[in-house]
Amino acid sequence: MSDRRGRVVVVGSLNVDLVTSVARHPGPGETILGSDLTRSHGGKGANQALAAARAGAQVAFVGRLGDDSDGAQYRTALRAAGIDDQHLRTTAGVPTGTALIVVDGAGENTIVVAPGANARLSAEDVRAAADVLADADVVLVQLEVGDEAVSAAFALAAEHGVRVVLNPSPVRTVPRAWLEAADPTVVNEHEQRAYDLAEACVTLGGRGATWHGTTVAPPATEVVDTTGAGDAFAGALAAALARGDDDATALRAAVAAGAEATTWVGAQPD
C-alpha cells in the first residue's frame, strides 16, 4: 500500500455531453421540442476523476480520447484541473465518446451514450499504467469501458494491494468476483436490485446514501439538474477513502458532493 497521500487512479470513460431540456420526457414514438442544445464535458470516468480532484485527491486518468477537436479540448481541461494524463491515449480515426442527455422539468434525465474511443480502451492500455496503479491509494472504475480493461484494473490492484471502488454502471452482466472484490461497490437502488447486492454503498437520490447500515441525508439544495450527481458522489468517496477517512466520514463527504452537483447544469461545473 502507499503512504496515504490521497492518490486516486481512475480507469474509465470520457464523453462530450449534448444536453437539452424538456418540460417532460417524450413517450415512445413522440417528438417534442427541447431547449437550445448545450455541449459540455462528461463521461462517468472523467466526471468522477474531476470530483476526486475537487475533493483534494491527486488523480491520474487511464482512458482513451478520439483524435478530434473534442478530444484535444478535453485533454486541455483535465490538465487544467491538475489531472495526470500521461496514460490518457488518443485513438486515431475514432471520435471521442458522446452522450445524448435529455433533462425534464424536475431535473431528472435520460442518457444514451455512443462510446467512441472509450470502447477501444484495452487491457494493454491499463497494464501500461501499472506504475501509477501500483502507487495509488484507490483505483476507481466504472463500466463505460470494456470488460478487458476493467478486469486488468482489478488484477493490478489485487497484485499491489490497492483498494478498488467500483461503480458498476451502466448495468450489464459482470463477473461476480468484481462486485465482491470492490470496497465498496457504489450503486443506486436500481443497480443494487439488478446486481442483487446485499452489501454495497447505495445512493438514494434525494434521500442521500447508505453504507454499512448508516444513512446520510443530503443538505438542502435547489435541484437544477441531477446529471452527474452519482459520479460526484463516487469521486468524492474515492478521494476521502484515499486520504484515509473512515467509511462514515467518507460517506458524509460523498453525499455533500453529490448534492452540490445537482445545483449546476451538466455533469461538470463550469
pLDDT, position 265:
66
Mean pLDDT of 172-187: 96
Residue 3: which pLDDT band, with cuts at 50, 70 and 90? very low
What is d(CA 165, CA 153) in angstroms, rounded to the nearest whole number?
A: 11
Bridge partners of 165, per DSSP, are 140
Residue 3 among the catalytic residues: no
pLDDT surpassing 80 at residue 181: yes
Judged by DSSP in three states, 19 sits in strand
**pTM above threshold 0.75:** yes
pLDDT, position 61:
98
Residue 1: which pLDDT band, with cuts at 50, 70 and 90? very low
Q: Which of 40, 41, 106, 54 is nearest to 234 (CA)?
A: 54
pLDDT, position 224:
73
Torsions phi, psi of 11, nearest 5? -110, 110
pLDDT surpassing 70 at residue 55: yes
pLDDT in tens, 126-140: 999 999 999 999 999
pLDDT, position 206:
87
Active-site option among 67, 231, 245, 270: 231
pLDDT surpassing 80 at residue 223: no
CA contacts within 13 A on the Cβ side of 206: 10
Mean pLDDT of 36-61: 95
Residue 37: which pLDDT band, with cuts at 50, 70 and 90? very high
